[in-house]
Structure 1
Amino acid sequence: MAIGLNSLLNIGNGALFASQAAINVTGNNIANVDNQAYSRQAVRLEANHSIDFYPGQIGQGVTAAEVYRYFDRFIEKSYLDKYSSQNRYETQNGILRSIENIFNETNSPGISSLFDKFLKDWQQIAQRPDDMATRSALLANTSNFTKVIRDTDLSMVKVQREIDKLVEANVEEANKLIQQIADLNKQIQIHNDPGKNNANSLMDARDEATRKLSSIIDIDVIDRGGGNYSITTRAGKTLVNDSDHFGLVFKPSNSQADLMPNSAFTGNVTAVGDDYNEYTLEITQAIDNSTVPPTPAQFRVSLDGGRTWLRNDDGSVQLFDVTDKDSPVRVHNIEVSFSENFEALQAGDKFTVMPKSGVYYDHPTKGLENITPMIMPDGSDREGRMTGGAIAGLLITRDYEIGKIRDKLQAFAQSLTWEVNRLHSQGTGTEKLSYLLGTYQVRDSNIPLGSDASTLAWRDRLNQLANVQYNATTGQVESVKPGNVTFFIYDKTTGDPIMSKALDFSHKLSAFGNGFDPTIHSLDDVATAINNSFLDPNTNQPLLNAAVVDGRLQINPTDPNQTTFGMVDDTSGILAALGVNTFFSGGENPQSLAIRDEIGVNLNLINAARINGGAEANGGDNITAKAIGDLASTKVSIRASFERPMSQTLGTYYNGIVAQVGANTSAASFNAQMNRTMASDLDSRQEEIRGVNLDEEMANLIKYQSSYKAAAKLITTADQMLQTVLSLKN
């Protein structure tokens, strides 16, 4: 009987400790009711082994086997996915709303209204060509117009630079979380004994850090139990592997090579310029030394990782010559050059050029791997890159939302500049010209102006005017239709015409005549043609003196006291491309757009008239002013870097930019709301499982308190029974 009483005491003692453990866990739940990172815990009670006895098995009470937590890993994985997408689109939406405000013209005049005013001012000049007040109004309004264009682009640049700072901060935070999770895995491996001593608090801390990490970058979690816990990006880049961790790197402009097995190229590619595109360069043909001179190696360019390639206006793939650092080629907004041993390049060699800062995965054996987000032409995310989280939202907004809007604004500024300058450069003001200095520069005055190596901002426009035809397969020039420009020389005293003539490029004939061929003729050739074309019949000396000054074309009469000059019928585009007698300077990008300096100090140089067939430029002539004013309804060719050329009016194209900003913001808002709803639903479902319910915990507290009292009563009863037995001896 004594064994039975001891067993009863043990049962009571076990029940007492089990109830006490349950009360402690319940109290901890109640204390953490407002802790969002806490998972509700409970005690698993386990019956002790029974003893075979008469009249049957006798139970030995209960044991508090383990403290476990309520947590659904499947729901959590789904939540992390949607939460990551939510943060991507919320980040995009927040920034795009500020971009939308930049283009908002509700409270102040913007580009659209000022552009309308600009064209109306030219229409006013067409009605009063000689009125200086009208010319002064045009100058003032245009100055404001160009300033707003510059400020609009600059505002977007500032946003992009702020994004860079945010990305850098997020990368730093992500790396801290990655290390924290790896450290927690190590601690869990030490303290966790499954089914006996569960490291619940450490697991809660790890899950909370994982949630924070998913808000920054898209991740997948592989939980194999305890400290065996891995995190990868959706693209499969390992960030955490148990106690090991691998970080991210935010790096400025960079280039990486992917060479063919037979390539002996050991150099690198250099890109100079401000651009938020990612360039993929692929060598299409190696250098051919069998020709004289050697045929240069060439490459093609993609802005979407090689899915599509930049094309000429006729649809053929655009090819660029491989050059060294002394003569880089212009590719969109950057200048590309190769190191000195580019002769070793082989067809198929590829290079990724990042003229922007990007995020890289620090691979333990392969080095840095580019994981900067990329949006493909169909709107999908590029495989192998980041697709979710705040970092993806920031970089996608910087590169593809703001970047494309800036590209479109640049296309607008370029077409505006070109169309106005094309008309203005062939016109004449209220006085003849005695000096001109071009506003656009070339790096090397010996390189053909239509070549990418000339780095002339308007080389593509020259090729368009010359109707350059390319072979769709090789990209080589097949034919050129040369243009020209006519100069008029006047007696400065009497104003009578002395000579009129088109430029003669016979010193370097092309296969298509003695006109201007952008694939052959350089800036030096233009200066030579001007000097050779207008000779005084009496002295056989040049009437005009043209020279190259700091990469720009300068023209003035040989004897400024005797002659003046003017130009008309420029079918070549030379004048506009070189910035000679133009209205605007700059314009190759929005921030450089301005009124030509000489016009700012001399209203007479605003060209409203045009030299007619009789070599006259009458004061009341308004042909040039009317043509510029008519740009309001004239369709022109406009092309952004990622688009095929389109024919639209400038006003319609700009309105399309504003509409695109609104559409981007609306799409980001919709996606943010959709993913927020789904993430919130999953979080609620997880909260139903892991969250603390005070009513339930209070009921449990009462239940376990009653159990504790009953266990204590059981011990008291057993003690009394034992005392009764002991008293029998007396």
Structure 2
Amino acid sequence: MPTIFDALNIGVSGIFVNKAAINTTGNNVANVNTPGYSRERVDILPSMPMYSYAGVFGTGAKIDQIISTRDELIDRRVRASNQEMSYYNKLNSSMDEIQSIFNEENGVGLKGAMDQFFNAWHALSLNPDLETARQQVIEKGLTLSKAIKDANASLNQIKTNLDDQVSSTVTEINSLSKRIAQLNYEIKKAELGDKDHANTLRDQRSVLLEKLSSIADVTILEGSYNNQTKPEMTVLLGGMPLVSGKDYNELTAEKLNGSEYYRVYFVEPSNAKVDITSRIKNGSLGAILNLRDKIISEYKNNIDEIAKTLIQEINKIHSSGAGLTPYSQIEGIYAADPNAALSIPNATGLDIAVKTGSFKLKVIDENNNEVGVFTIPVNEDDHLQAQDPSDEHSLIERFNNIMQGYAQMSISPAGKVQIKAIGNYKFAFTYDSSNLLAATGINTFFTGHNSSDIDVNRIVQNDPSKIAAGKTLNPGDSSNAQTIAQVQLNKVMVNNTQTIDEYYNAFLGSIGSTKQRFDEIYKAKEAVYQQLKTTQQSLEGVSLDEEAANLIKFQRAYQANAKFISVVDDMTQTLINMVR
């Protein structure tokens, strides 16, 4: 049979249990605004009962453990959702920057610059001998070149900024991995007992895991410490173990093997480096890599295509025409391999393939009288420099034989084609069906290869009379200017299926539609994330209303146990008085 002192112990156990419950409630309230804190509760169980001939008697209550209300399932869902939301958030914000580059409001932008450029050529076709019209063509050409180069430079700057973020993000991943590994070690030590729960440490680790998940598409696994049942956390990125229990491996961002941009490498314990860049496809880092390596690269290619098409199409026409004044000498702007077939751009270093055809030179004497027009045949398998005395495919030898006494072609020390008049003769170009002049950069309007270096030829800038508005030296000839103005309306893009305007408008449309798509997906992902966070908060977070109710409940229980002890005290006093 239980004694009166057993009753006293029952009251004391109630005091201790409810005091612990009040302390836990107070801790919950204190951490109501602590990021990642999960609500704790006291797991109260009845004490071991007392057995007697009269039956089983309770001996009070005891604290089994202080447990956290953390729900691993909802935590995993929150991390996965945060990963996707961060990915599209980064894509969305970067697309805002890209869109701002191609602002076409009020006619300002690349489209407006192209319109003004072709309008200037149309105005020149109406007044080919007007100095101001020629100067306007140069100014609008410079404006267009600058707009294209500015777009290219802006995309490059965004790409460089993203590349810098790769390096800083890798540093952040290493810092998070190190801290998670340390917490794994501390949690292992703190949970050596069967009922020990390192709730605070686990909350801290959960915050770090969510942060890490927002950066990259990590996989979080839980195994075991040897044969024990305590969880050991492993964090994988690209199939490589960033964290394994208390151990962690670093990533490094480096430009190896001639890479222009940072690549992400996993550093193995042996210091060997494994490139995992292509394996990172989610989180903010995945978005950065996608933007840097794919999206912006594609946009740069689009701008390059516009620049290359403008350079090549305008130069083909311009190089086959004549300005108001002839040349005494001229040097091409593109270097070529003198021994390679001119029809193979990659072999010659030229952007335009030379085809079978011919080009013509009009020779003028010192009194500005026409001596004659000379035709230079060109074969697609020609090369510039003679390989032996019997070589019949040397363009230089053919040119010099035909133009003997009037002009001479040679290769400059820089590997560029140059033509010099002999004596007091001068020359002008009136025709080219072979593309040789445009390919070598002779008598062209534009210089450069793509959007990074497009510019107006210095010869034209310094002497507007060299603008080839016609096919002759006649001041009223505007046939070439008319043809160049028509380029805007010709289908010269995408295998001759689109005009330059159509191509650029489609390009702008793709940017707008991509931005809209990313924006819509981001909003949807954000809504899912917020919903999951709300669910997580309802399951794990602190509710002040609930804690206030619990506080009253445990306070009353504490008071009741205190009253019970008081009653036991009175009973004890009665027994003592009976003994006297």
Alignment TM class, shorter chain as reference: over 0.9
CA distance 1:197–1:31, shift in 2 (3 Å)? same
Matches within 5 A, 1:176-325: 176-193=175-192, 196-224=195-223, 226-233=230-237, 235-252=238-255, 254-255=256-257
Question: Any stretches of 5+ residues in structure 1 without a counterpart?
Answer: 256-270, 272-353, 374-384, 467-481, 505-514, 612-616, 639-644
| 1:659 paired to 2:509 | yes
Amino acid at match of 1:149: I
Amino acid at match of 2:326: K
Count of residues paired in the alignment: 571
Question: Any stretches of 5+ residues in structure 2 without a counterpart?
Answer: 224-228
Residue pair 2:360, 2:373 contacting (<8 A) in 1 also: no
**Counterpart residue number, 2:455:** 594
Tell me the SS of whatever aligns to 1:692. coil
Amino acid at match of 2:516: S
2:294 to 400, 405, 409: 400
Residue pair 2:385, 2:395 contacting (<8 A) in 1 also: no
Question: How far apart are 1:191 and its partner, in Å?
Answer: 0.5
| 1:625 paired to 2:481 | yes
Matches within 5 A, 1:242-641: 242-252=245-255, 254-255=256-257, 354-364=259-269, 367-373=272-278, 385-442=279-336, 444-451=337-344, 454=347, 456-458=349-351, 461-462=352-353, 466=355, 482-503=356-377, 515-517=379-381, 521-522=383-384, 529-535=395-401, 543-559=407-423, 561=424, 563-586=425-448, 588-611=449-472, 617-638=473-494
Question: How far apart are 1:646 and its partner, in Å?
Answer: 5.5
Question: How far apart are 1:499 and its partner, in Å?
Answer: 4.9
Residue pair 1:185, 1:226 contacting (<8 A) in 2 also: no
Q: Percent of aligned pairs with the same residue? A: 28
**Counterpart residue number, 1:377:** none
1:703, 1:70 → 2: CA distance?
A: 19
Residue pair 1:425, 1:580 contacting (<8 A) in 2 also: yes
CA distance 1:449–1:238, shift in 2 (3 Å)? farther
**Counterpart residue number, 1:175:** 174
1:197, 1:30 → 2: CA distance?
A: 22
Tell me the SS of whatever aligns to 2:158. helix
Question: How far apart are 1:58 and its partner, in Å?
Answer: 0.4
Residue pair 1:122, 1:628 contacting (<8 A) in 2 also: yes
Residue pair 1:80, 1:219 contacting (<8 A) in 2 also: no
| 1:89 paired to 2:88 | yes
Question: How far apart are 1:724 and its partner, in Å?
Answer: 2.7
Deviation readout 1:47-97 (Å, 9 max, x if unpaired): 112121142100111111111111111111121111111111111111111
CA distance 1:100–1:486, shift in 2 (3 Å)? same
Which structure has the greater CA radius of gyration? 2
Deviation readout 1:597-637 (Å, 9 max, x if unpaired): 011010110001114xxxxx432221211110001211114
Amino acid at match of 2:442: V
CA distance 1:578–1:524, shift in 2 (3 Å)? farther
**Counterpart residue number, 1:263:** none
1:535, 1:485 → 2: CA distance?
A: 15
Amino acid at match of 2:234: S
Residue pair 1:486, 1:570 contacting (<8 A) in 2 also: yes
2:333, 2:541 → 1: CA distance?
A: 69
1:455, 1:184 → 2: CA distance?
A: 61
1:536, 1:503 → 2: CA distance?
A: 10
2:561 to 692, 695, 711: 711
Tell me the SS of whatever aligns to 2:417. strand
Question: How far apart are 1:668 and its partner, in Å?
Answer: 1.4
Deviation readout 1:360-387 (Å, 9 max, x if unpaired): 23344693232324xxxxxxxxxxx112
CA distance 1:44–1:457, shift in 2 (3 Å)? farther
**Counterpart residue number, 1:680:** 530
Tell me the SS of whatever aligns to 2:566. helix
Question: How far apart are 1:720 and its partner, in Å?
Answer: 2.8
**Counterpart residue number, 1:329:** none
TM norm structure 1: 0.74
Tell me the SS of whatever aligns to 1:57. strand
Residue pair 2:409, 2:417 contacting (<8 A) in 1 also: no
1:436, 1:194 → 2: CA distance?
A: 89
Matches within 5 A, 1:90-109: 90-107=89-106, 109=108
1:369, 1:135 → 2: CA distance?
A: 58
CA distance 1:660–1:457, shift in 2 (3 Å)? farther
**Counterpart residue number, 2:14:** 15
Tell me the SS of whatever aligns to 2:372. strand
1:203, 1:429 → 2: CA distance?
A: 79
Question: How far apart are 1:711 and its partner, in Å?
Answer: 1.7
Deviation readout 1:165-212 (Å, 9 max, x if unpaired): 222221111110011001000000001146522100000000000011
1:499, 1:528 → 2: CA distance?
A: 21
- Counting helix residues as a fraction of each chain, which structure ranks higher? 2
Amino acid at match of 2:252: V
1:713, 1:524 → 2: CA distance?
A: 117
Deviation readout 1:250-282 (Å, 9 max, x if unpaired): 112x34xxxxxxxxxxxxxxx5xxxxxxxxxxx
Residue pair 2:69, 2:539 contacting (<8 A) in 1 also: yes
Q: Which moved more, 1:648-657 or 1:197-206?
A: 648-657
Amino acid at match of 2:371: P
Question: How far apart are 1:25 and its partner, in Å?
Answer: 0.4
Matches within 5 A, 1:30-179: 30-107=29-106, 109-179=108-178
Tell me the SS of whatever aligns to 2:579. coil
Question: How far apart are 1:528 and its partner, in Å?
Answer: 5.1
1:28, 1:556 → 2: CA distance?
A: 92
Amino acid at match of 1:238: P
The two structures, once aligned, show a CA RMSD in angstroms of 2.3
Residue pair 1:171, 1:249 contacting (<8 A) in 2 also: yes
CA distance 1:12–1:637, shift in 2 (3 Å)? same
Question: How far apart are 1:14 and its partner, in Å?
Answer: 1.4
TM norm structure 2: 0.93
Residue pair 2:385, 2:396 contacting (<8 A) in 1 also: no
Tell me the SS of whatever aligns to 2:523. helix
Question: How far apart are 1:5 and its partner, in Å?
Answer: 1.8
Residue pair 2:341, 2:348 contacting (<8 A) in 1 also: no
Residue pair 2:408, 2:422 contacting (<8 A) in 1 also: yes
Amino acid at match of 2:428: G
1:368, 1:168 → 2: CA distance?
A: 16
Amino acid at match of 1:578: T
**Counterpart residue number, 1:691:** 541
